[in-house]
Amino acid sequence: MNLHMEQKIQIMIVEDNPMNLKLVSELLEMDGFHILKCHDAESALVSLKTTNPEMILMDVALPGMDGLELTKKLKANNETKNIKIIALTAFAMKTDKEKVFDAGCNGYITKPIDTRKFSEQIRELLNVNNG
């Protein structure tokens, strides 16, 4: 039994695309993570009042408040500043990567998601090993 999996690690996914939300949450659930699903920044803010995930996987292009704006808000708040925030982005240009890190994200994963590498990427970002 993996000691680190006795208490399921909680990951919030903030994604407005239903197909992407379903794919990411299923991949993480198969790997034993507890998933919180939010469709936009506002619902994520509401959920964060009562939950404390270890990581937030956040789409950058969200309706209303975008993912980078939400990241800045969370990193400026003492209650949420230590949550690892990983941008889920279709952006691939160097300036886009800079924007993600300037906003305070701890990393990013490009879309479309490589399902073979996704779990490994998440574990590396969480500093969780496979054994």
- DSSP strand E in 15-119: where? 34-38, 55-59, 84-89, 107-110
- Chain-wide mean pLDDT for the chain? 90
pLDDT at 4: 47
Question: Where along the chain do its domains lie?
Answer: 7-126
Tokens (6 digits) for 13:
């996914």
pLDDT band at 127 (very low <50, low <70, confident <90, very high): confident
pLDDT at 73: 97
Q: How much is the pTM?
A: 0.90
Is a pLDDT exceeding 80 seen at residue 86? yes
Fold exhibited by the domain 7-126:
Rossmann fold (3.40.50)
Tokens (6 digits) for 98:
């800079």
For 58-74, write each residue's pLDDT tens digit.
Answer: 999 999 999 999 999 99
